[in-house]
Chains A and B, each alone.
Chain A
Amino acid sequence: MARVTDAPKVVTANRLQDGAVVWLTPAGDWSIRVQDAQVQTENAPVEAALAIARASAARQEVVDPYAVDVAVEAAGPRPLKTREWIRAAGPSIDALPASAA
């Protein structure tokens, strides 16, 4: 089980049809932009958001939702762990081989 921290949280998953990284918005739907994610600062709302996300997974919209720690910045939430900011921003390298650019 993931360690419970005091950091603000957003809920994320991968979209079932294409595997794209998605973030749960305040409207209860999914966005591919982490900036659109609803930031939760209390435990109870995080659980409620996860319940919404699990219901979405049960409707075959997303796979394996979970909450991640973020820092709230002017540009929006920024995931704290390297893994999660790479999920949010995409690979840290050029997608195409350098020689093919």
Chain B
Amino acid sequence: MSPSAAARQIAPPARGLPSHAGIYHYDQVDRDFLKERVEQFRRQVARRLSGELTEDEFKPLRLMNGLYLQLHAYMLRIAVPYGVLTSRQVRQLAHIARIYDKGFGHFTTRQNLQLNWIKLVDVPAILDLLAEVDLHAIQTSGNCIRNVTSDQFAGAASDEVVDPRHYAEVLRQWSTLHPEFSFLPRKFKIAITGSSADRAAICIHDVGLIAKRGANGQVGFEVYVGGGLGRTPFIAKKLRDFLPEDELIAYLEAVLRVYNAYGRRDNIYKARIKILVHELGIEKFREEVEAEFARMPRAQYRLDPAIVDGIKARFASQPYETLEPISGVLARARLEDHAFNRWVRTNVAAHRQPGYAIATITLKPAGGIPGDASADQLDAIAALAERYSFGEIRVTHEQNLVLAHVRQDDLPALWKALSTIGFGEANSGLITDIIACPGLDYCALANARSIPLAQRISERFADLDRQHDIGELKIKISGCINACGHHHVGHIGILGVDKKGVEAYQLTLGGSASEEGAIGDIMGPALSADEALDAIGAVVGVYLEQRQDGERFLDTLARIGHTPFKDKVYAAH
């Protein structure tokens, strides 16, 4: 049976809102706001089509609603607040993809979903359908505070100290249509985690927040600022070690005010907060923020614990069963089935609730397009989420999905079902779990294609035994210097460039988006796609030859340096 036919078989008819999915449940105020917003955009589209608005006038309005004009069509970027979706929402996304697009969607490094084949005339109807399930595309573009991103294991991870979803929701409500921060010098991205392991790439965001607990157990935030990729990449610098919970909004207001006042508006390439922090220096930037913070009427901006409690109350909790910490069913299945055991090793993480586990669904089948899922596959995943994970699905910044609350006993059945729809690959964190931006196949900004190279690397390393032998190795590909594919922080990064009209690829080594945070070093001159593919093989070869017991790729690179890798790659040049 084809994956598509299998997907259709798995997906039963749509049901109502899953009551135990761990999302923030909208109230009537939220829904009325969305409805008004859709009507406003419907009128704007009508005025554009009638000629009342020129393209120059309309462009900023459509961008504020996540609508871009790309190479072949309009692209709609749909916000997935901090990466959490219900099965009902995923079914609706599948429905929209099927009716208004070409039957698939593309999950991005911003935890969003992009539809690549949208017609302008259909957008109001699409926004109606999104609003039906409490979704929208607001602030997925423009010089505003963008959709807040978070740890895909939030509320489930065994290493979590504070659930970051509650504060991500605080930030969503605070930043949505914030009048003072709707026309910043440039876009502004906030990421938040609540675990010691950074799965949210805090270090490459304009502001990164690590929620933690103080000496008395009270919640506070480690605040980082000035991270970012693009033309001038920087790892974020620490601004505050512990910001008390009730000062979160006031302090972020102060950060954004300083940025709004001093950030450059004369040069788009120097307009992000990372440039301001770099040019002022973190000490001077901190002084400015603290001075602004001291001037603010703090009572007015205080984040009242009652507000936080109110938001927490609108997140459903999961009615977990009382289970043994280690499942006998799981242990037996791992012993009996090598392929399943391999999937558990890479794609299953520890859950804080005994007897449960977190399952990552890598949208990276061998030779596939990173982050793409068909409408049938989305419907099937929604059904699996209802059956095995309280109807909740997470999107990761590595372009994968997660079922965050799976009974360990159910893992064998879940994996079998995922395998039938083409998403049972045991490759999370491995060399074929590639991040790739849409590149020149779709994007109007790109200089080179990303997806075909990702597919070729995936095919080259498709052998799972070999992948597992290589171990953790993250390849990230961007089709231009804007770095949507996070190439700067790839263990192996690949940047597509235009070399006198010909696509070429520049490789970097040693980047990382995890807690150690590092920008990769350029290996040497750009290569053709064929050469880049061989270069990846050469780099992996050097690693396998040189690694010592237990060393990951990054460990070996740190120990032996870049020269052996460069020498091997450029030996023939």
Contact = CB atoms under 8 A, between A and B. Distances in A.
B70 A19 contact: yes
Contacts of A34: none
Contacts of B422: 97-100
B377 interface: yes
Interface string A7-24: 000000010111111000
B72 interface: yes
A19 B116 CA distance: 11
A33 interface: no
B367 A96 contact: no
Contacts of A18: 73-74, 119-121
A87 B72 contact: yes
A82 to B, nearest CB: 6
A98 B452 contact: no
* Interface SS of A by simple majority: loop
A2 interface: no
B322 interface: no
A14 B51 CA distance: 16
A43 interface: no
B372 A97 contact: yes
Contacts of A57: 55
A64 B55 contact: yes
A21 B70 CA distance: 10
B471 interface: no
B24 interface: no
Interface residues of B, number: 48
A16 B374 contact: no
Contacts, number: 111
B50 interface: yes
Contacts of A16: 48-49, 55, 120
Contacts of B103: 96, 100
Interface in A79-97: 80-83, 86-87, 90-97
A63 interface: yes
B440 interface: yes
A91 B72 contact: yes
A33 to B, nearest CB: 14
Interface stretch (B1-9, B231-239, B273-281, B519-527): B1-9
Contact of A100 (B3, B69, B118): B3
Contact of B7 (A87, A95, A96, A100): A100
Interface in A27-46: none
Given A19-B70, A57-B55, A91 B442 contact: yes
A60 B49 contact: yes
A84 B446 CA distance: 12
A99 B364 CA distance: 9
Q: Which of A20, A57, A80, A91 has the most CB of B within 10 A?
A: A91
* Interface SS of B by simple majority: mixed
A82 B422 CA distance: 31
Nearest to B122: A18
Contact of B373 (A14, A64, A97): A97
Contacts of B441: 86, 91-93
B117 to A, nearest CB: 8
B104 A99 contact: no
A9 B381 CA distance: 48
Q: Which of A20, A60, A98 has the most CB of B within 10 A?
A: A98
B423 A100 contact: no
Nearest to B366: A98
B477 interface: no
Contacts of A83: 71, 440, 446
Contacts of A59: 51
Contacts of A82: 440, 448-449, 501-503
Given A19-B120, A99-B377, A93 B455 contact: yes
B58 to A, nearest CB: 9
B451 A93 contact: yes
A97 B120 contact: no
Interface in A50-87: 57-60, 63-64, 80-83, 86-87
A4 interface: no
Contact of A95 (B3, B102, B120, B502): B102
A83 B7 CA distance: 34
Interface in B28-83: 48-51, 55, 69-74
A21 B451 CA distance: 21
19 contacts: A18-B120, A19-B73, A57-B55, A60-B48, A60-B51, A86-B441, A93-B452, A95-B104, A97-B422, A98-B367, A98-B455, A99-B368, A99-B421, A99-B422, A99-B423, A100-B7, A100-B104, A100-B373, A101-B2
Interface of B: 2-4, 7, 48-51, 55, 69-74, 102-104, 117-121, 363, 365, 367-369, 372-374, 376-377, 421-423, 440-442, 446, 448-449, 451-452, 455, 501-503
Top 9 nearest A-B pairs (CB, nearest first) are: A99-B422, A100-B374, A18-B119, A91-B441, A19-B73, A97-B372, A19-B74, A99-B365, A98-B368
Given A86-B440, A93-B455, 16 more contacts: A16-B55, A18-B74, A19-B74, A19-B119, A82-B449, A92-B441, A95-B117, A97-B368, A97-B369, A98-B367, A98-B368, A99-B422, A100-B373, A100-B374, A100-B376, A100-B377
